[in-house]
Amino acid sequence: MADPRAIVALVILLFIFFSPPPGQEPLVRARSRLEHVVTTEHHDLTILNQTRFGDFDPVQNKWLNMSGFREDDLFAWQALPLVKERARHQVAHALGHDNLARLGSGEDDRPALPLYRNVTGTMYGKWVRSPVQTSVVPPRLNMTEYSPVGPFGPIPVRSFNKNVTAKSGSLEVWFEEADTQETLLWHGDRRVAREVKAQISVGDAEAGDSWDSRLFGIHFLDTGNIMLATTTDKFAGIFALPHMALSDYNYHSAQRLLNRTLGMTIRDQEDGYLQSFSPWAPTPDGSSDSSPSPTCDLIVYLQQHLVPVPGVKPGPDQETLLSFIEQEIRFPTGASIPATQHIAFSMVAFSPDCGFVLESKGPPDFAPQEANHLRGLKLEVEYERARRHLLLFAAIMSGQLFFFLRQMRDASTPSTRSRISFYTISMLSLGDGFITMVLCLISLFIQALWVPLIATAFLAFMSVSFFGMRFLMDIWAVQAPERERRERQERQRIQQLAATTVAPPTIPSGTMENAPAQISTPSQMPVITAAGAETLPPPVTAPRPIDTGATPVFIPSDQDTQAEEDAPNTAATGVEAGQRAPGFGSLYTRFYFLLLVTLFLSLNATSWPPALRRGYFTILAFCYLSFWVPQIHRNCMRNCRHALRWDFVAGESLLRLMPFAYFYGYEQNVLFAAVDLIDLGVLAGWIWIQVLLLLSQEIIGPRWFVSGTWVPPAYDYHPILRDDEEANNLPIGATTSTPSPEQAKEAKDKGKRVFDCAICMHEIEVPVLNGESAAEGITTGSLVLERRKYMVTPCRHIFHSSCLEGWMKFRLVCPIDREELPPL
């Protein structure tokens, strides 16, 4: 019989294979639409080819016949001269006033400026409203003209998307410059301009969200000036971009370059090499029509700042050295080069239709300490850093694995394994599994870092699948009887409750151990079933099946002998006994299911607003870093002290905190995540509290912080020995093994007795409370540390703690009379 799940999976797969790709239109419509698009583009290109600098001048009422540049579009073009003035102001600040003239002409005998010629990379900074914003009136557009046409007529719009309403926020610009001759403009033997693609992400400090836009433009290589524009149906940005230039010279370079590259793109569209209807669409992935409602358009001016070249006096040498550095980091030959510097940019962004003007925050209007325009690294430098940090992370992973292996070797006997909390180890393994998946995923997108990413992922994968899972399986097997016992007790309690209470019983929620752990506990399953509405015990007034008085006949289950014992209680037990705790196989499934859910949720979270995203990841980190909590709980429930090696606890705590310290505390981390020392402090403090608790459990006692009624009774191996009438609990051998009368007398005077330890055959001197010393007021507090040194078995034999603990690693019977010992 086929598995229904397999059929569902098959149907989904078939659906995926045979459903048409989204956005595909009938061929005829696509054809006519393409013709329309290409006609418009040709028209715009002709205008680009035939106009001169100054043909677009809204102040003197000169317009272009292109969408967005006509008079009746009513855009805020009157502000363009102001915006250009701000851009020129930034050029002067970045390059110095003497170099402002370079914008005007390329024929210059002065040495080239020390600027990066390839700005591929990501820049980060903050934006503020420009000082000229106050003189820009947002245009009053006729919104009905821009309403997109839906299946049921035009959809009314109130305002455009990507409009900026806040006063300030974060800014991120990502550049990409292709290394082809087609997008490069030469002038003689000089490279003058190159086409550049950019993605700009504008964050809103008040609303906490952000939007992305993709822009195309020109990088003027001599001056480090960049002009960018969005292109949409209502705004032919890229075709009119040369008219935005700051000088006649820039206009001509831009016109020549764009005339060529735009012409090539249109030809590709006509020939069918390029499927896209709008190759310059502002959507981040370049797809067209993903959002039907109109968005604000942008014109962006960027100016690269001079790169400080250390150790070289200003002049032509600087430029030579810088271009050598640029060449060397891209194609390393092993030459020694000075440390590479940041790229810095200042920016002015102007939206003619929404009427906002933004600037990057920084000098001269703000102090450099407060904000310093846009800063970033060249892509190669950033990759190099990421590679180094990944190597460091791999070292941390190896360290974790090292401690883990030592712990595994240490816990090689059933007795030691049974002390370790299954959930602590699962959480550690879940963390490793998460790292494996994330690194594998990232490696798909960043080709340059594929090898280090995959190597680190493999290390994490090994630690989860070979060692983590193996250890979990061992612990699971050892703790199986314990789980069954707990289940049985749980069942019995429920039955008792059902029998004694009239009202439907309140079922105590699962034990605390289940709460922090992220895997739902199998041991809880029968409890849930019993608490479920369908199996609620009948009220007492309901007729009872046992009322007949005849001895009911039960057919005992073959598998579960305990079920036989339980059977006479109620008939329900027979049913429940069939539902045994799920095996390790189903646990395995749950483990990976939880892993995938966390992964997908986290992937989704990366697109949330920044504040929410940060909150999510901090909470996730907090849950993950709670991995000692299950162990503390287990110690407490079983009254055992020493489950894990101390180097394991210290090593794992420290090493697993490292990545968080990196992202929350190190400013130049690869993700450029903002430093947040408070969150880091909380995380570190939380780990520290857990380790302290573990330590105190070892020293003071596993249960010192809970009252006795909360936890199940457990045998206390370290009782305070008393020698008085009402509570005489002296171990066997107290009277017989006195070595010599004087010694014994002396010891007894100090409130001590001497015994023999049957394992190491040495003496053991223990403090004993008798009536007198109690009267003298010897506090039991001073005995807390003393009594850790000896252990008394339930059969009242006394041993050194170290001796008996060593013994109990291997056998859980008393070395003297072979009575069973409760686990430690």
Ligand X SMILES: *[C@@H]1O[C@H](CO)[C@@H](O)[C@H](O)[C@H]1NC(C)=O
Which is closer to ligand X, CB of 241 or CB of 379? 379
Instruction: Tell me the pairing of strands 149-150 and 752-756.
Output: unpaired
Cα(502)–Cα(180) distance, rounded to whole angstroms? 84
- Contact between 160 and ligand X by CB under 6 A: the answer reads yes
- Contact between 165 and ligand X by CB under 6 A: the answer reads yes
Which is closer to ligand X, CB of 117 or CB of 417? 117
- Contact between 187 and ligand X by CB under 6 A: the answer reads no
| Nearest Cα to Cα of residue 562 among 573, 551, 571 | 573
- Single-letter residue type at 320: T
Burial class (CB in 10 A: 0-12, 13-18, 19+), 465: middle
- Contact between 76 and ligand X by CB under 6 A: the answer reads no
**Binding residue for ligand X (CB under 6 A) from 208, 263, 399, 822?**
263
**Element holding 525 (H helix, E strand):** helix 525-531
Query: For ligand X, which stretch binds (CB under 6 A), given 134-142, 234-242, 391-399, 631-639?
Result: 134-142
Q: Which of residues 288-347 bind ligand X (CB under 6 A)?
A: 330
**Binding residue for ligand X (CB under 6 A) from 76, 80, 218, 379?**
379
- Contact between 174 and ligand X by CB under 6 A: the answer reads no
At 57, list the tokens.
Answer: 């001048």
Contact letters (x/-) for ligand X, 406-425, by CB under 6 A? Answer: --------------------
- Contact between 142 and ligand X by CB under 6 A: the answer reads yes
**Binding residue for ligand X (CB under 6 A) from 78, 99, 163, 773?**
163
**Binding residue for ligand X (CB under 6 A) from 145, 565, 647, 772?**
145
Query: For ligand X, which stretch binds (CB under 6 A), given 45-53, 236-244, 425-433, 769-777?
Result: 45-53
CB of 45 to ligand X, least distance (A): 6
Q: Which of residues 347-366 bind ligand X (CB under 6 A)?
A: 353-354
**Binding residue for ligand X (CB under 6 A) from 73, 319, 380, 679?**
380
| Nearest Cα to Cα of residue 170 among 613, 600, 662 | 613
Phi, psi of 428 (to 5 degrees): -60, -45
At 72, list the tokens.
Answer: 């009746």
- Single-letter residue type at 669: N
At 766, list the tokens.
Answer: 């223990």
- Contact between 75 and ligand X by CB under 6 A: the answer reads no
- Single-letter residue type at 63: W
State the number of binding residues for ligand X (CB under 6 A).
29
**Binding residue for ligand X (CB under 6 A) from 259, 327, 413, 618?**
259
Biggest distance spanned by C-alpha atoms of the chain: 121
**Binding residue for ligand X (CB under 6 A) from 120, 130, 372, 697?**
120
Cα(43)–Cα(179) distance, rounded to whole angstroms? 29
At 119, list the tokens.
Answer: 């700005």
Query: For ligand X, which stretch binds (CB under 6 A), given 175-183, 362-370, 488-496, 777-785?
Result: 175-183
- Contact between 144 and ligand X by CB under 6 A: the answer reads yes
**Element holding 192 (H helix, E strand):** strand 190-203
- Contact between 39 and ligand X by CB under 6 A: the answer reads no
Query: For ligand X, which stretch binds (CB under 6 A), given 41-49, 522-530, 550-558, 687-695?
Result: 41-49
**Binding residue for ligand X (CB under 6 A) from 159, 412, 520, 729?**
159
Cα(494)–Cα(527) distance, rounded to whole angstroms? 8
Q: From the CA atom positions of the chain, what is the Rg in Å?
A: 38
- Contact between 50 and ligand X by CB under 6 A: the answer reads yes
Which is closer to ligand X, CB of 255 or CB of 518? 255
- Contact between 154 and ligand X by CB under 6 A: the answer reads no
CA–CA distances in Å: residue 606 to residues 202, 538, 615, 622, 684: 16, 50, 11, 18, 24
Which is closer to ligand X, CB of 144 or CB of 541? 144
Cα(319)–Cα(727) distance, rounded to whole angstroms? 91
What number of H helices and E strands is found in the chain?
24, 17
Q: Which of residues 557-576 bind ligand X (CB under 6 A)?
A: none
At 679, list the tokens.
Answer: 């969150």
Which is closer to ligand X, CB of 179 or CB of 817? 179
Task: Quickly count: other Cβ atoms within 10 Å of residue 43's Cβ.
Answer: 14
Query: For ligand X, which stretch binds (CB under 6 A), given 136-144, 486-494, 717-725, 809-817?
Result: 136-144
Query: For ligand X, which stretch binds (CB under 6 A), given 39-47, 672-680, 704-712, 784-792?
Result: 39-47
Residue owning tokens 């399986």? 473
CB of 348 to ligand X, least distance (A): 18
- Contact between 266 and ligand X by CB under 6 A: the answer reads no
**Cβ(352)–Cβ(390) below 8 Å:** no
DSSP letter for each residue of 574-629: HHHHHSPPP-HHHHHHHHHHHHHHHHHHHHHHTTS-HHHHHHHHHHHHHHHTTTTH
Cα(375)–Cα(126) distance, rounded to whole angstroms? 10
Cα(198)–Cα(237) distance, rounded to whole angstroms? 14
- Contact between 138 and ligand X by CB under 6 A: the answer reads yes
**Binding residue for ligand X (CB under 6 A) from 118, 130, 407, 770?**
118
Residue ranges binding ligand X (CB under 6 A):
43, 45-46, 49-50, 65, 118, 120, 138, 141-142, 144-145, 159-160, 163, 165, 177-179, 255-256, 259, 263, 330, 353-354, 379-380
